[in-house]
Chains A and B, each alone.
Chain A
Amino acid sequence: MSVASNSSVSGNDPSQLLRDERFLMGLRRDMLRFAELQLRDPAAAEDMTQEALAAAVSGQARFSGRAALKTWVFAILKNKIADHLRQRRRIVDAASLAREAADEADFDEHLFDRKGFWRPDEHPDDWGNPESTFAQHQFWAVFEICLTQLPDNTARVFMMREFLGFDTAEICRELGIATSNCHVILHRARMGLRLCLDQRWFGSEG
């Protein structure tokens, strides 16, 4: 953050904060990526980012700085994405979702021995203090890579749950699948994400 760009932070009016072009561009980029991850539709992601930014500029709320403003703009964006997903029928393709879920057995086979205990080289490590990891700029790039590596439909269900805060019952209902299947899909997403971060982030550190 440069000293020059700090000068515009003096006012807590969002329209004033958003006048800092460098901040605005970074914010837009982060919002677009966040929306695209979930929508897999660049045009819709662009529309929603634009609408959320417009809402932020015209909003009456005041903020104690950029981080607070960003959190608020992301909250608006999340609402827009959630509404969009609710309106659109057939959020995910049930057939390919079932195929993706079927691979889960292989996952377990890779991690556990015949009796269902951790294989020695798959024994989970201590990832340390989350806060110090979250403070690292590079971590979030790896986190995004790992999200994009999840199978499409699995990722979508996971993000509805973890990013947008849909409850599991609603997701299952929307998808028209059994609750137990829903749980398997979410479990699979966590296992995939966990393995990816372990290899790409924590592995490279140790």
Chain B
Amino acid sequence: MLNCKQVTHLLSEMQERELQWRERLPLKLHLLMCAGCNNFRKQLDFLHRACREYAQGRSDSTPP
């Protein structure tokens, strides 16, 4: 049974490498039960998207 700390590390590593099936199942089970880690997962997704937008010149320094 994974704890939240382990889950945050796994979720972050998912952005670097494909997880093995024996890592994926306990992760899925934990996420089914844990609202905090679910939000954390969405936050990581948010960060990834924000970086992509930023690196495409999304930030706009021109005053409106």
Q: Give A residues with C-beta under 8 Å from B.
A: 1, 22-23, 26-27, 29-31, 33-34, 67, 70-71, 73-75, 78, 108, 111-112, 115-118, 123-127, 130, 133-134, 137, 140-141, 143-144, 161-164, 168, 182-183, 186-187, 190-191, 193-194, 197-198
- Of the candidates A1, A33, A71, A190, the one whose C-beta lies within 8 Å of that of B44 is A190
Q: Is the interface of A mostly helix, strand, loop or mixed?
A: helix
Chain B interfacial positions (CB closer than 8 Å to A): 3-6, 8-9, 12-13, 15-17, 35-37, 39-40, 42-62, 64
Residue of A nearest to B62 (CB): A26
- Number of residue pairs A-B, CB distance < 8 angstroms: 118
Question: What's the least CB distance linking A105 to chain B, in Å?
Answer: 11
Q: Pick the residue among B4, B12, B51, B58 that contacts A183 (CB under 8 A).
A: B12
**Chain B residues near A163 (CB, 8 Å)?**
51, 54-55
Residues of A within 8 A of B6 (CB): 116
- In the bound assembly, the distance between CA atoms of A198 and B36 in angstroms comes to 14
- On whether the beta carbons of B56 and A71 are closer than 8 Å, the reply is yes
CB distance from B60 to the nearest CB of A (A): 6
